[in-house]
Structure formats: structure tokens, C-alpha cells
Structure 1
Amino acid sequence: MRKYFAFLAALCLFVGCLAALTVPVGSAAAAAVESKNLIYDQANLLSQQEKAELNALANQYGTERETDIIIFTSMNQANQDVQRITEDFYDDQAPGYDKAHGNAVILTMDMKNRQVYLAGFAKAEDSLDSGRLDKIRKAISPDLTSGNYKKAFERYMTLAHTYMGFKPGVNPDNILFALWFQLGAAVIIGGVIVGIMVYRSGGRITVNRATYEDAGTSAVLEHADQYIRTTVTKSKITKNNGGGSGGGGGGVSRGGHSHSGSKGSF
């Protein structure tokens, strides 16, 4: 019976450590809330049924994370930069889970220049920083390129909801958070603990080297260090002049609202 308790204790300890890195779902998730419009499909990429299904999903996930999860598509007739379009949308529409200009993540589609921009405002600026938004954008880009817009938007919402469940600074794609890895590790840890208990249950070996050693006559007779030579190697230090691929970023809207961001073509 003790073996089983040890296994359960190891499992609970391991899962508890991982749970400390996640963000608990707020109590508001269990409360009924009025459904709001979170899908602004000005480019007419979606059917009415698709918009209704996506809007329901956005409201569900948004309630659980206390963040508006928004999709905005535009034909961009004024030919503005997609980041500026997103910032102006936030300034003018003032979205937010529980207040104007509150927690929101926005995916903007510029169909004229075929670019997409993701931005996190207020709390989402931290829970969906530019690095996490880069991951989401890269994950949905193939479906955007293929015209599978509904699938891409669902993936965006699912990943945004998942990533916001982890505390800022934690890599949400770390293998430690995979369910199969957690279960496997728990089984291994439990097995090791049980194995140690079984091993110790047979009694400990008390005979060792000191049992037959005469400390009075055992000693180091002679010790010497001999210097041979010194070898010096040189290596060139390469300076980093900056650069690298784009995509990450963020900024501040004309209305003074800072945000995380990720921009790319599709």
C-alpha cells in the first residue's frame, strides 16, 4: 500500500509544479455573459454561419480569459499599413472585456496587400507578447495563404486562449506542458520511488571498505606534481551588428494605447 501512496504523491507533486506556471481561469468564466460581436468581416471572407460560429467561440474563449478575442478583415481601400489599421480600430471601437480600451487581442487581415497583423492590448500585451503572437501568426499563415479563413481564425482563437493560460515569460510550447509527457514523467518518477522503496525493504548492506581497512597503517606514501607546459589558444570574437527576421514588434496607437504585435504576409 505504501508503494501506491508514494506513486500518487510523486504524481501530485509533479503536476502541482507545472500548474504553478499556468494562469487559473477566472470566476467570470462560469458566469453567463451577454454575447458581443467580435467578428468584423468587412472583406466578406466568411458566410453568415461561419461568422456566427466564430463569434460564439470568441465569446466563450474571451470570457474564460477575460479578454476580447477579435477578428477584423478589411479591403484597405485607403491603402494604410496593417498595423495602423489595427491601432485605429482599437482607438475608434474601444473594445475590451469589461471596459472600453480594455483587454483585447486583435487579428487584422489586409486583403489589399495580403498582410496580417496581430496585436495584444492591455493585459493581453503581456499574456500575448510579441513572441507568442509570432507563434500564432506562423501557425495560421498556411491556412490564410490557402484561403481556409475559418480554419485559420479558429486556430488563432484556440492558440490565443491556450497561450493566455500561461504566465508571461513561460514558453507555452515547452514539452513539459504536453499531457503525454506529464503522464509519462509521472509514471517514471513514481516507478523510481517505488523501486527505491522495494530495494530498501530488503535491508541495507552495512559492510564496506572501511570494515577491513586498518586506518593506522593505511596512508598515501608519496605524492608529486610535475609541470609540463602551458597551451594558449586564440579565437576571433564575431560582433553582432543586429538584423534578423522581422515579425515581432508592437507599438503605440495614435490614441496612446501600447500593444504587442506580429506582422507578416500570407
Structure 2
Amino acid sequence: MRNFQAKWLVTLCFLLIFMAIGGVSAFAAVDQRVYDNANLLSESEIAELEAVAAEHSSKHGTDFLFLTSEDPEAFDVVDYMGDFYDEWAVENGQENAVLLTMNIATRDVYLAGFGTAETTLDNQRVNLVLDRIIPEMQRGDYAGAFRETVTTASRYMEFRPGVNPENIFFKNWFQLAVALLLGGGIVGFMVYNSGGRVTTTASTYFDGDNSRVTGKLDQFRNKTISRRKVPKKSGGGGGFGGGSTGGGRSFSGGGRKF
């Protein structure tokens, strides 16, 4: 009986090892993540971006992809992105991906999350990423914008789904300020109480029964009302939202002009 259990455990270990190796091989088979059809990046910039994308892709089990075009004809960037992804997913056997698509001719950009990234990089987080990269794109720093896409999206994906990663409570400076305020408050409280407590008040020396005060009067004099105009929220922000590709694959997303 013991020999059977030992053999079963050994067989199970080998199966787990083969499954792990197979999973790594399938993921490592994606050897291209930058499809710069618009020739916006230099060879060195592509190499650097490929390395950064590979590092964070391995970290999340989600490929970070970039697709550029310079087609002067107006076309739907979301449809273009969806058709590319459907073909890419079949060729690579991978569903989890973050895909940034842009057409430099029409200055459209769209960021989408597929597979598990549809949840870890939802519509809200997509638009937060776009807030960061659009200024770089407007300056023509496409390599910087693409690199920022990877690092920022990767950081957001580490937070629990549904949580705003830009919440002030997650900021290091805010946490430090709270710690300093709490520390200062505790020290101040200790210093205040170290000198003893004052027990005398005005009532200690005031005899209400024998004083010459015969009455009290509270009289309402006037009332001041101030009015403040509440400003309306300005427009702008992201557009499009998520959807589904022609192949039926759903995604989160957001798009802008830059």
C-alpha cells in the first residue's frame, strides 16, 4: 500500500512539473509584442519596449501588445483592434492580453484588456492609463507613452478588481503624512498630560445664589445667508468603453484622440 502511494505521489509530481513547463513554454512562445506598422519607433526603442513588455507579461500571465497604423483612410480603430486581436489570439493560443492600438494618421488611440485583463484592467483603469499617456503622445514621445502603458497598467493590475488604484489612501506621501500626524498627535497628548490637570474653573469662584445677576436674556439679532454657485463638471475624458470583437471575444477599453 505504501509503495502504491509513493508511486502515485511521484507520478503526480511529474505531471505538475510537465504542466508547469508546458505553461511556461506556451507563454514564452509569444516572441513579438510590438507591431509598429507606422514606423514610429526606432530599432533600439522597439527592443527596449519588447523587453519591458516581456517582463511584465510574464509577471501577470498577460501579454502587453502594441499595434500602430498610418492608414490615412478613416476607419474604426476598435474594429481594427478587434480583428487584429482575434487573429493574434488564434495564432498564439493566448487570450489574456492588454492591447494598445493607434492610427497616427487619424490620431486615434484605443486601449483594451482581454481575458483576465478585462477585469484587472477595467474601463476605469484604462482611462486612468490614458490620462497618463495622452500628454506624451501629444508631444510625439511614443516610446515613452508605450513604456508608460506597460508599467502603469501592470501596477494597476496588482490591485484588487474594483479598487481605484489612484485613490489617495494608496499614495505613499499620504500614508507618510498620516503617520506623522498620528505620531505628532500622540506625542502632543503625552506632553499635555505630563504637566498635570487643571481642576479650577470659573464656577469655582462664582456664587450663583448670592451674585447680583438677576436674569439672563438670549436675543436673536440677525441672520446672514450666503449663496454659492456650484460649478458643473466639464466634459472630456475617455470614450467608447468595452465591447466584443468580431470573433466574440469581450474586452474592457477606452479610446481618445491625441
Could you state the TM-score of these two structures normalised by the residue count of structure 2? 0.69
| Runs (5+) with no aligned partner, structure 2 | 1-19, 206-234
Q: 2:181 aligns with which of 173, 185, 188?
A: 188
Give the structure 2 partner of residue 154 of structure 1: 147
Does the 8 Å CA contact 2:72/2:106 hold for their aligned counterparts?
Answer: no
Query: How far does residue 70 in structure 1 lie from its aligned partner after superposition?
Result: 1.3
Identity %: 46
Residues paired across the two proteins, number: 230
SS for the counterpart of 1:105 is strand
- Structure possessing the higher radius of gyration over alpha carbons: 2
Give the structure 2 partner of residue 229 of structure 1: none
RMSD value over aligned CA atoms? 4.1
Give the structure 2 partner of residue 111 of structure 1: 104
Give the structure 2 partner of residue 67 of structure 1: 62
Query: How far does residue 246 in structure 1 lie from its aligned partner after superposition?
Result: 6.2
Query: How far does residue 38 in structure 1 lie from its aligned partner after superposition?
Result: 1.4
Amino acid at match of 2:255: K
Q: 2:160 aligns with which of 159, 167, 176?
A: 167
Does the 8 Å CA contact 2:156/2:165 hold for their aligned counterparts?
Answer: yes
Does the 8 Å CA contact 1:67/1:96 hold for their aligned counterparts?
Answer: no
Q: 1:48 aligns with which of 32, 43, 48?
A: 43
Query: How far does residue 58 in structure 1 lie from its aligned partner after superposition?
Result: 1.0
Q: Distance in 1 between matches of 2:159 and 2:49?
A: 23
Q: How does 1:122-137 map to 2 (within 5 A)?
A: 122-137=115-130
Query: How far does residue 96 in structure 1 lie from its aligned partner after superposition?
Result: 11
Q: Identify the range of structure 1 (255-264 vs 33-42) with the bigger mean alpha-carbon deviation.
A: 33-42
Q: Tell me the alpha carbon deviations over residues 117-162 of structure 1, each in whole angstroms, 9 at most, x when there is no partner.
A: 1111122222222222122223222322332111111122222122
Q: Distance in 1 between matches of 2:197 and 2:91?
A: 64
Query: How far does residue 106 in structure 1 lie from its aligned partner after superposition?
Result: 0.7
Does the 8 Å CA contact 1:45/1:149 hold for their aligned counterparts?
Answer: yes
Does the 8 Å CA contact 1:68/1:96 hold for their aligned counterparts?
Answer: no
Q: Identify the range of structure 1 (87-96 vs 133-142) with the bigger mean alpha-carbon deviation.
A: 87-96
Q: How does 1:174-253 map to 2 (within 5 A)?
A: 174-202=167-195, 245=236, 247-248=238-239, 249-253=241-245
Amino acid at match of 2:57: G
Higher RCO (C-alpha 8 Å, min separation 6): 1
Q: 2:83 aligns with which of 88, 97, 101?
A: 88
Give the structure 2 partner of residue 18 of structure 1: none
Bigger helix fraction: 2
Give the structure 2 partner of residue 262 of structure 1: 254
Does the 8 Å CA contact 1:127/1:164 hold for their aligned counterparts?
Answer: yes
SS for the counterpart of 1:94 is helix
Could you state the TM-score of these two structures normalised by the residue count of structure 1? 0.67
Q: Distance in 2 between matches of 1:187 and 1:122?
A: 42
